Amino acid sequence: TDYKRPHRMSPRLGVILLVTTWFCWGFSYPATGIMLDTVDVWAGRSIVMAVSGVMLLALAYVQGHEIAVPRAHCRDLVIAAVFNMTIFQVAMTVGIHLFSAGRTAVIVYTMPLWAAPLSFLVLGESVTWRRLVALTLGTAGLVILIASDIEKLDQAPLGALFMLAGAISWACGTIAQKRVDWGVPTTVLVGWQYVIGGLPIYIAAGAFVDYETVSFPTLWPLLSVIYNILIAFVFCYYAYYEVVRIFPVGIATVGTLATPIVGVFSGALVLGEKLAWPEYSALTLVVAGLGLPILWRSSRSRLR
């Protein structure tokens, strides 16, 4: 693959990766909840990030890729790592500590709201009415979910602010990643971002975790750790940034709105959480928002 020409990648591959990421990241909601029952939040995050980074770089090396990023892009890599990993993961970790890994984490998936204007200002991407309507519908679905748990925001407003900071940082990191023709595969980019951006988290884990009280996790928490490493961090981050290579930021980020919906319904399936009208309303709005561009393109194709 010519990594300097992302537009040559298959849009069909991008759609497959995007939809797969919805479900895999969505199921990481209950998996993270199970993991945090017995694994310290800082220790769990540092282990997952460190192992995922090594695995991605090892995978790139085994595939015969050069794992060194061109020197001209080293500064860009550090900037992307700070936004995508350091600020985002620290904000997420503190937010989860204050909020727990429940439905209030959907605040993070307001990210497309911040990415849309940034993509216009920094990348010069066009703003179409279809993208605006899709973003509005999807965001309305998330607002319903957040509003249904509004008492949690009152109980931990600082946690909400950290989640919001994570969303904005993720948007900035996506723009930082998109604006550069890296010349290396996504596995290398994400792997190094885990290594570089994870340094403050590894330090925090060493400073804050009382390892004398840490025990080896039982079966289900252990499986949840493995799921987070192999699926949520190794595969999903790779897939998401491949999608960012293929599509405009506006399309790639709007697609992430489906993830918390999958997370809510997977939580009902795995953890026995009850569903009511807010969940079904949010599902309807997000599906409508994601389906709008597809239906429009299909109708245009038939007219032609």
pLDDT of residue 34: 81
Concatenating the DSSP letter of every residue in 71-119 gives GGGHHHHHHHHIIIIIIHHHHHHHHHHHH-SSGGGGGGGGHHHHHHHHI
Contact (CB, 8 A) for 266 and 26: yes
Q: What is the DSSP letter of 228?
A: I
Q: What parts of the chain have a pLDDT lower than 70?
A: 1-9, 99-105, 149-156, 211, 213-214, 267, 271, 273, 290-304
Is residue 68 helix, strand or coil?
coil
**Which amino acid, one-letter code, is at 226?**
I
Q: What is the DSSP letter of 210?
A: -
Q: Is the dihedral of CA 140, 144, 149, 151 positive or negative?
A: positive
pLDDT of residue 156: 67
**Which amino acid, one-letter code, is at 228?**
N
Residue of 37, 35, 158, 166 lying closest to 90 (CA atoms): 166
Number of continuous H segments (helices) and E segments (strands) in the chain = 15, 0
- Two structure tokens written together for 296: 């429009």
- Two structure tokens written together for 102: 């429940």
pLDDT of residue 304: 44
CA angle, corner 211, sides to 210 and 217, nearest 5? Answer: 120
Residue of 138, 119, 142, 118 lying closest to 130 (CA atoms): 138
Length of the chain: 304
- pTM for the structure as a whole: 0.83
Residue of 6, 21, 19, 108 lying closest to 294 (CA atoms): 19
The number of C-alpha atoms within 13 Å of 231 and in the hemisphere containing its C-beta is 18
Cα(first)–Cα(last) distance of the chain, in Å?
A: 32
